Structures are given as C-alpha cells and as structure tokens.
C-alpha cells in the first residue's frame, strides 16, 4: 500500500514544523520553530538536511525573523543578523545561499506589506522545488529505458527537498512508469542517510530496495546488477563538477571502471554559476565525534578522525546532469558545460 509522501517541512502560516530526521526511522517527530535562530540550529544539527530542503527551511527562517522583529524600529538590522546566522549553518549546499539571496531581494523591494511579500516568496521557493522535482523525475526516468538496476547514495527524496526528490524522484517516476528496476541504496556512512532515510522513504512508497554497505559498491557493479548510479548534488560548478555526499566521487570512479552510467539530478538552484569548476567549493568537515568511537575521545588519544561530509566528482565522470530545465549529457564534452541552462 502506498502512503502520502512524507514531508520534511510544513509551514503552518505562523511557524515551521521540521521533521527531526535524526530520529528516523524509529520516530516521526516534528519540532515547531518560531524564530530564525531555531531554524539555523535545525539545519546545523541536521534535523533537516539535503540541499534543497536546507534552502527552503532557511527561506521560512527569514519569514519567521520578519514576523518576530517587524514591530521594532531596527527590524531590518535584526533580520540581517538572522540571515547571517542562517548563512552560517552549513557551508556546502549552495541552495542555502541561493534561497537567502532571493529573500534578501524581496526585502530590498520595500513592499508595503513586507511580511506577506517574504511569506509569498518562501512558499514559492518550496512549491517551485517540488515542481522541479516532478519535471526532473520525468526527464531522468526517460534515460532509464532498458535499465534493470540502479544504485543511489545518501538521501535525495522528499526528506531532502520540497517533496518527491531529485535522484529519488527519478526512481519514483521510473517505478510509476512500470519500469522494472532493482533499486540499491548505499548505507552512506557515517550519518547513514541511505540506511536510515532512503530505504525507509522508498518503503513508505511501496518501492522495494536493497541496502548495501558502501564498501560493497564495487562488487555490486562488477556483478552486472546495475546500469546507472543516480545521485543528487549540493553544488554544481559551471563546468559540471559536482559536490555531493562523501563517497559520491568513489562511486563515480568505480562506475567508470565498470561501464556503469552516472546520473546527477539537481534543480538549477543547485548550480553555482560563479564557480568555473569544483575547486572553489567549500567542503564541510563535521565533528570527528560523528565518526570516532567514544573510547578514543580521551585526552592524549592517539586516534583522531577526519570527517569531510562531501566530495567533488569531476564532470568527466558524469554521464548526465538532469535539471528541471533539461538534461546535459556528458557535461565535460560540451563546450558550454551546463551554461546552456543559465536563464
């Protein structure tokens, strides 16, 4: 039986309800936020995660800030400080900065009813992302004709977006079109987005999935079980170099070795047009304790941990970038990279 697709973010009109993804799959618990600092903390602590969802949450955070401060004389300064706090929450997903720039542009318009104007903008960012996902789902699914198996990494579904999903949206659309696909999900260490979120989300939708240890990916490819790896993105440079969850670069390298195709699915809000290539993408390093067994967390311990949570896959390893504005095949072979999609 299929269920209504889970929602990571619910705007109530006065507050933002955030599904605490740290508690999944055991608990489906929403926290209610009424100020921007709370939303920034929800992003930082990964209650909400996934590039598009982070951007949408931040946009609602700006609405909450305006709602809280509008009556004070220095409300613009307070809102600017809240926007800075939101911008500091996580560094890699460009959707965060894209959404904040959109909200800043609305604030700069000096509308008579600024609260309505920012609310309208945040709701539109949310709705547009969902619509983009549906479109990318259709476009990406068309590439899967004849495919028997796919593998995905991290969580790129409804939980990570405005709804439906990017890479997971393509898988949803392919299954809806009765394409007979075996779906594999990597567990996605260290935070286990694949094991805790992706297979749960697919099961909610009645889509069977097989979980593998990240380290089993090469052997899975060698077995011939998969034709495509399908992933999302946190930031794509203008030449197609793509930052995504740590481990994506390994998968793309392995895919090349085994003749498996590699698809990146992301809305154009994930493209950073200011970067010519991926060298300038800031890669978030999270607390080593997310990785390190507690017994090593002692003074004078000889064991430490390095915990980068994203990596950059060179465009040359990518077979297709799917956006809501169209598909770019083999981006490194195009003279314009993905600039053809720039409005």
Q: Which residues are catalytic?
A: 234
Residue 230 · residue 196 · CB < 8 Å: no
Closest CA to 152 of 263, 49, 259: 263
Residue 181 · residue 144 · CB < 8 Å: yes
Residue 232 · residue 223 · CB < 8 Å: no
Helix spans in 150-197 (H): 167-176
Site string for ligand MRU, 12-51 (x = CB under 6 A): -------------------------------------xxx
* Between 25 and 78, CB nearer to ligand MRU: 25
* Whole-angstrom Cα Rg for the chain: 20
* Between 154 and 315, CB nearer to ligand MRU: 154
Interface positions, 194-253, toward ligand MRU (CB under 6 A): 232-234, 244-245
Interface positions, 248-307, toward ligand MRU (CB under 6 A): none
* Between 50 and 61, CB nearer to ligand MRU: 50
Residue nearest to ligand MRU (CB): 232
* Between 154 and 209, CB nearer to ligand MRU: 154
How distant, in Å, are the alpha carbons of 7, 48, 79, 197, 303 from that of 20?
11, 7, 25, 11, 31
**255 — phi, psi (to 5°)?**
-65, -45
How distant, in Å, are the alpha carbons of 192, 298, 309, 337 from that of 214?
10, 29, 14, 30
Binding segment (CB under 6 A) for ligand MRU, from list 76-84, 112-120, 159-167, 251-259: 159-167
* Between 193 and 239, CB nearer to ligand MRU: 193
Q: 166, 173, 204, 313: which one contacts ligand MRU (CB under 6 A)?
A: 166
Binding residues with ligand MRU: total (CB under 6 A): 17
Counting contacts by CB under 6 A, is residue 193 touching ligand MRU? yes
Counting contacts by CB under 6 A, is residue 187 touching ligand MRU? no
Euclidean distance between CA atoms 189 and 198, whole angstroms? 13
Binding segment (CB under 6 A) for ligand MRU, from list 103-111, 117-125, 154-162, 318-326: 154-162
Instruction: Please state the closest distance from residue 5 (CB atom) to ligand MRU, in A.
Output: 14
CA dihedral 249, 319, 340, 174 (to 10 degrees): -100
Counting contacts by CB under 6 A, is residue 154 touching ligand MRU? yes
Instruction: Please state the closest distance from residue 209 (CB atom) to ligand MRU, in A.
Output: 16
Element (H, E) at 205: none
Binding segment (CB under 6 A) for ligand MRU, from list 65-73, 111-119, 160-168, 209-217: 160-168
Residue 311 · residue 246 · CB < 8 Å: yes
Residues near ligand MRU (CB under 6 A): 49-52, 93, 154, 156, 160-161, 166, 193, 232-234, 244-245, 309
């Amino acid at each position: 039986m299929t269920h209504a697709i889970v929602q990571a973010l619910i705007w109530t009109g006065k507050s933002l309800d955030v599904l605490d993804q740290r508690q999944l799959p055991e608990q489906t618990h929403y926290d209610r936020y009424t100020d921007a600092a709370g939303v920034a903390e929800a992003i930082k602590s990964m209650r909400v995660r996934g590039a598009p969802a982070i951007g949408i949450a931040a946009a609602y955070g700006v609405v909450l800030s305006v709602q809280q401060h509008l009556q004070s004389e220095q409300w613009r300064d307070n809102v600017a400080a809240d926007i800075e706090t939101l911008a500091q929450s996580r560094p890699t997903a460009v959707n965060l900065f894209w959404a904040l720039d959109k909200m800043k542009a609305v604030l700069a318009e000096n509308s008579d009813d600024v609260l309505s104007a920012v609310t309208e903008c945040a709701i539109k960012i949310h709705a547009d992302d969902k619509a983009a996902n549906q479109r990318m789902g259709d476009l990406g699914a068309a590439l899967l004709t004849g495919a028997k198996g796919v593998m995905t990494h991290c969580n790129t579904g409804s939980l990570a977006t405005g709804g439906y999903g990017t890479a997971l949206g393509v898988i949803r659309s392919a299954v809806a079109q009765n394409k007979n696909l075996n779906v594999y999900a990597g567990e996605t260490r260290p935070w286990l987005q694949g094991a805790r979120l992706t297979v749960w989300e697919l099961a909610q939708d009645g889509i069977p999935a097989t979980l593998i240890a990240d380290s089993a990916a090469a052997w899975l490819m060698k077995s011939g079980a998969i034709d495509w790896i399908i992933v999302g993105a946190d930031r794509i440079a203008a030449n197609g170099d793509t930052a995504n969850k740590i481990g994506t670069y390994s998968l793309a390298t392995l895919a090349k070795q085994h003749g498996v195709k590699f698809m990146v699915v992301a809305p154009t809000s994930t493209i950073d047009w200011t970067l010519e290539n991926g060298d300038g993408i800031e890669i978030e390093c999270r607390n080593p304790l997310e990785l390190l067994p507690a017994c090593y967390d002692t003074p004078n311990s000889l064991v430490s941990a390095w915990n980068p949570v994203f990596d950059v896959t060179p465009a040359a390893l990518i077979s297709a970038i799917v956006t809501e504005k169209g598909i770019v095949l083999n981006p490194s072979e195009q003279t314009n990279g993905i600039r053809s999609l720039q409005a």
